[in-house]
Every structure is written in C-alpha cells, then in structure tokens.
Structure 1
C-alpha cells in the first residue's frame, strides 16, 4: 500500500510538471507623470523656515528600477495673504530646498511647479497639532504580551474636528510605520496610541529590544489629506503575493494648470508637527 501511494504521488507530480508553461502577458504602460512630494512640516518650537520639496517621475508598476529624479524645474510657494513668493532652489538630485519659508498657523499657501513648459499647482493651509504629553513603554497593549511596545499620549482639543497622522520609525529601519487618526468618537479625550513590532522571519522584522530608539511624530492634517493618506496606508498594508489586487490610482490635491488630463501624483501638505525620540530600557 505504501509503495502504491508513492507511485501515485510521483505520477501526479509529473502530470503537473508536464503541464507547466510560460505565458508572456503584455502589460500596458502609462506615460510617466510628475510626482510631487511637498510636505511642509513645521516643528513645534522651531521657525519652520527650512523646507524641502521632492520631484520625480512615476515608473511602471512592475519596474524595479529606482525612481527618476526631476531636475531643472521651477518651484515656489506663495503666501496667499500678501503674495510673498518663497523660491525653492534646485539641488540637482530631485530635491528643492529653502531656508526662507514663512510659517504662519492657519495661513493659506499656493504651490507652483513649472516643469517642461507645464504649470502644476496646489493649495493648502498649515494645520495645527496638539502636544505629545507622555511617552512610555509597556507590554500590555499589543498582540504579543512578551513584546515591547512604545506608547504616546496626547489630549485631543475639545469641540474641534481634528485629524492626525502618526509616524513611528525605529532608527535603522528603512521606512516608518504610519497611522491615520481622527477624533470623531474621541473629541476632547486623552488619547493613547501604542506601536509594537512582531517577529517575522519572511520579512526579517524583529521585535523592539532594550537600547532601540524610536522617532515619533504627531502631525495635524486636513480632512482631505486624512482621506488621502488613509487610502495609501490601506493599499500599502496588503499581504502581497501573486493574487494581490494591484493598488488603485489615488489622486492628491496637485493639478496640472496647462493640461488638466495630465495631472501629477503626490500631495501638497502643510502641518504642524510634534516630534519626540524614545529609548527602550
């Protein structure tokens, strides 16, 4: 009986192997679009004068090549109340910087980018944020009761509709973990957010250890940006694999003045941010 089962299994394996074939599928590629990464972060307690905007070109979904930096563009931000222009200097690596940004709470600003004779724009205002009131470590709130986690606390301002973006990044990690928050059901309350990392052999993820340092940022964002980043976080958090749904195109608030059909990707966001560092013991 054992011999029969082995032979049958072997025959089935041969059947599947013999049916294997390679199918080449032509995937249509869209024309590259301008990608605008314009996050104006005003750190609490700072002047907020140093800012950076990054420009690149989109690449095909299955292309593993690195991003294409955009140089030679004209980039400026205009303070809407008095039309003051802040020019961002081309650093010849896809980044454009200034040390003359004028940060004013609730002030509206307009972004203007000129690239290859096309004008791109966006607008927004600086959104305030409350302070982080406490940082501490624990093991009680997460999924693994033996794993370390970092906690932050803040008091949500009462009777004001607030939206938040929270970033956690252990020093040495390539990318931060992002969390979108709103106060629809927690208005005016003391809020606690925890973050833990679990062991994962497939991805190489490791738990927090004593001595690890985590950089944490709490940002105030607009409702429009909250809806945008929430979709991005949801799409980037998929499990992967050959049958995973390809992420859908998500439009930000940037537009093409010269050619509306050729809109850019990305977002022009202006936020006040409270940042802290935490050392695990």
Structure 2
C-alpha cells in the first residue's frame, strides 16, 4: 500500500509539471516587410524582378506572406527640375496565390518585364505598394559595379581549424567613389568602400565557419551599392552579426528606404520627420551583380 501511495504521489507531481502556463504578451503593431533587392545581370535580356512581401507577427511566430492591392515599379531619367523626361512602369502580380512574391504581371495587356538596357547609371527606380489601404513609396538609383577579378581558396585560418578561407579580388573604378556589398551565400554579407584603394585592385580574405565541406560549391557575388544602401547593409550586418539574411529577417531598428506616405501631399519629403513610425521594414534597391563559383577542396 505504501508503494502504491508513493507511485500515485509521483504521478500527481509529474502531471502537475505539465500544466500550461499562459503568458500575457504585449500587443505589438505589425509592419510590412519588403525584400526589394533587385539584382541586374547585364548578360540577360530582362531584369529578374522579384519583390517579396511579408508582415511581422507576434512573438514566437514566423512572418507570413501577404497580398497587396497593387505593386508597381516605375523607372526613368530625372532632369534638373526633378521631373522624369521619360517614365516607364512595370505592374507586378503575385507569382502564385499566397506566396507573397511579386513578379512582372504575365497577364497584363503588354509586356511588363524590365529590360536590362533600362538599368543604366542615372536611372531612378520607384517602388509603390498599396497594402491594407496604406500607400508605401521607395526611391533608389541604379547602382552599377565592377566584375570580380578572381575568387580562390586559401589555406589560412582566422580563429579555428573548421574555417575555410576564400580570397576575393576586384579592381575599383577610379572615376568615382564606390560602395560594394559582397554576398557569400548562407545569409553572409560584407560591405566595402573604396576610400583607401580608389582605382586600384583590392584583394581580401573571407572566412566561412562550419558551413562548407570539400566538394561544396559556393557562389560569391559583388553587388553595386548606393551610399544609402551601403549604410543600411552595414548597420544590419552589425546588428545581426551576419546570422541570417538581412532581407529575410530585417532588424526593426535598421530603417530602410520604404516609407508609408499615406495621405501626404508632398511625396518628395521622404524622411518622415513628423511621422517617425510610418515605414516598412526592408529595403528597395536595384543593383548590378557579378558572380563567380568556387568548388571547396
């Protein structure tokens, strides 16, 4: 009987430990999240336009894809008066229902794809999104870049034996100040500016930690960047520690260039001085990309 009572007591304690504890979480305002980085490959006829829309969720839940009322990209050359001499537009539609991925509308009455010949230095791109009755606006200038001179594997280690060194080289354009963003896959990015090597070839090492094995292929890309995009990426990398793609989980304190201008009369004022909380997370950029693939030995 004593043994039986002991077992009943133990069972009761274990069951009590499985009681669900309800935690009251604070209400948080959701924000639109825009993955709007468009990479331009000049060897292709058309720009690969893909805009991903999601919305921040409450704690412990993944951000969910959302459906917008409209998504439009406009582009052209601005004159000295700040007006477009010629303005073209591309209407986007959801690639598949519920995906939240927007591409040039294949069912539009005319071809909505953007030709790569339209992406030239001095071309301004505008992204307009209408979502849940709000009007979001972003403006950026096309950012060209230079090709990679070479990518090769090194044999140095920075901290531990599990690291893999890759050595990247490129030659800077000496005619202007340039900014670069490097994509090393696995959500790992690096920002570089040409302050100390303008017009010269520059070589640097990057170290992968526990992400590559012999026989793996890694693709390394150099992206053009405006100064604004460079600063945004520099801040996001600093805050995330390169622990995931800045475009998948944008940092709330890293403000991009996508503003909620619903009801504003002057859309040229994009700093939202009087409305500091009216913006979307993420960034809209149109950048040239060159890539090289390396097989890890």
Could you tell me which runs of 5 or more consecutive residues in structure 2 were left unpaired when the two chains were aligned: 1-21, 78-85, 105-111, 244-250, 264-271
- Aligned-partner Cα distance in 2 for 1:41–1:248: 24
Q: Which residue of 2 aligns with 1:116?
A: 132
Q: Which residue of 2 aligns with 1:47?
A: 45
Q: Which residue of 2 aligns with 1:242?
A: none
- Counterpart contact for 1:41–1:48, Cα < 8 Å: no
Q: Which residue of 1 aligns with 2:100?
A: 94
- Secondary structure of 2:50's match? strand
Residues 1:252 and 2:268 aligned together: no
Q: Which residue of 2 aligns with 1:179?
A: 190
Change (3 A) 1:157 1:45: same
Change (3 A) 1:54 1:85: same
Q: Which residue of 2 aligns with 1:221?
A: 225
Residues 1:71 and 2:86 aligned together: no
Q: Please, which of 33, 36, 42 is the counterpart of residue 35 of structure 1?
A: 33
Cα shift readout 1:101-139 (whole Å, capped 9, x = no counterpart): 233212111111111122111111111100001111111
- Counterpart contact for 1:232–1:250, Cα < 8 Å: yes
Cα shift readout 1:178-236 (whole Å, capped 9, x = no counterpart): 101111112122111322223xxxxxxx2633211111110010001111111100010
- Secondary structure of 1:235's match? helix
Q: Please, which of 91, 110, 129 is the counterpart of residue 145 of structure 2?
A: 129
- Aligned-partner Cα distance in 2 for 1:213–1:238: 20
Q: Which residue of 2 aligns with 1:190?
A: 201
- Counterpart contact for 1:80–1:110, Cα < 8 Å: no
- Secondary structure of 1:148's match? strand
- Aligned-partner Cα distance in 1 for 2:33–2:288: 23
Change (3 A) 1:181 1:29: farther
Within-5 A mapping of 1:131-150: 131-140=147-156, 142-144=158-160, 147-150=163-166
Q: TM-score, normalised by structure 2?
A: 0.73
Q: Please, which of 181, 188, 194 is the counterpart of residue 165 of structure 1?
A: 181
- Aligned-partner Cα distance in 2 for 1:238–1:136: 22
Could you tell me which runs of 5 or more consecutive residues in structure 1 were left unpaired when the two chains were aligned: 1-23, 170-174, 199-205, 240-246
Cα shift readout 1:160-190 (whole Å, capped 9, x = no counterpart): 1111110112xxxxx3211011111121221
- Aligned-partner Cα distance in 1 for 2:56–2:261: 19
- Counterpart contact for 1:142–1:195, Cα < 8 Å: no
Change (3 A) 1:48 1:207: same
Cα shift readout 1:36-76 (whole Å, capped 9, x = no counterpart): 1111110242234321001111124xx22121111143101
Change (3 A) 1:190 1:265: same
RMSD of Structure 2 on Structure 1 (CA): 2.4
Change (3 A) 1:42 1:194: same
- Aligned-partner Cα distance in 2 for 1:84–1:214: 36
Q: Which residue of 2 aligns with 1:271?
A: 287
Q: Which runs of 4+ in 1 moved over 4 A?
A: 24-27, 144-147
Cα shift readout 1:227-269 (whole Å, capped 9, x = no counterpart): 1111100010189xxxxxxx66121111112166432111111
Number of residue equivalences: 238
